[in-house]
Amino acid sequence: MAKQKTKTFRLLKHQVDFINDTQHRIVGLVGGFRAGKTVAAVHKALKLAFLNKGLHGALMEPVQSMIRGTLMPVVDLVFKQHYGWTERSGQNPHGEYTYRKSNPESLVIHFKEGDTIIYLCGMENYSRLAGKTLAWFVADEVDRCKTKEIALAAFKEATARLTAGPCVQGCVTSTPEGFHFLHHYFVENGFDEKQQPRTDRKLYKAKTQDNPYVPSSYIKGIRTNYTPKQAEAYLNGDFINMATGNVYYAFDRELNSTKKTIQDFRNTVLYVGMDFNVEQMSAVILAHDPMIGHTYVLEEITDEKNTESMIRRLKADYAHWAQYPKGITIYPDSSGKSATANASMSSIALLKQAGFECVYKGNNPSIMKERVPAVNAQFSSQKLVNGEWVNTQKLFVNIEKCPVLVKGLEQQGFGPDGKPDKAGGLDHCLDALGYPIAHLFPVPGKGSISVYR
* Binding site residues, ligand ADP, CB under 6 A: 10-12, 15, 31, 33-39, 74, 77, 211, 213
Closest CB 222 distance from Mg ion, rounded Å: 15
Residue (124 or 141) nearer to ligand ADP, CB: 141
Q: Say which entry of ligand ADP, Mg ion, none residue 39 contacts (CB below 5 to 8 A, set by partner kind).
A: ligand ADP
Q: What residue ranges in 135-218 does DSSP mark as E strands?
A: 136-139, 169-174, 201-206
Partner from Mg ion, ligand ADP, none binding residue 36, C-beta < 5-8 Å depending on class:
ligand ADP
Q: DSSP character for 83?
A: S
Among 75, 72, 8, smallest CA distance to 43 is for: 75
11 versus 51: smaller Cβ distance to ligand ADP: 11
**In terms of CB distance, is 38 or 329 closer to Mg ion?**
38
Q: Which residues bind Mg ion (CB under 5 A)?
A: 37-38
Q: CB nearer to ligand ADP: give 11 or 368.
A: 11
Please state, in angstroms and rounded to a whole number, the distance separating the CA atoms of residues 382 and 391: 4
- Specify the residue, 38 or 347, whose C-beta has the smaller distance to Mg ion: 38
Q: Is 229 exposed, middle or buried (0-12, 13-18, 19+ CB in 10 A)?
A: middle
| Torsion sign (Cα): 326, 327, 331, 335 | negative
Min CB(300)–ligand ADP separation in Å:
40
Distance CA 135, CA 44 (A): 13
Instruction: Give me the amino acid identity at 230.
Output: Q
Task: In whole angstroms, give the CA distance from residue 378 to residue 270.
Answer: 18
Other beta carbons within 10 angstroms of residue 127's beta carbon come to 11
C-alpha 106/C-alpha 115 separation (Å) is: 12
Give me the least distance between CB of 23 and ligand ADP, in Å please: 22
Residue 324 binds: one of ligand ADP, Mg ion, none (C-beta under 5 to 8 A by kind): none
Which of the choices ligand ADP, Mg ion, none does residue 12 contact, using the CB cut-off of 5 to 8 A by kind?
ligand ADP
Total Cβ atoms within 10 A of residue 340: 13
Which one of ligand ADP, Mg ion, none is in contact with 194 (Cβ closer than 5 to 8 A by kind)?
none
Q: CB under 5 to 8 A by kind: which of Mg ion, ligand ADP, none does 11 bind?
A: ligand ADP
In whole angstroms, give the CA distance from residue 226 to residue 228: 6
Q: Pick between residue 33 and residue 435 the one whose CB is nearest to ligand ADP.
A: 33
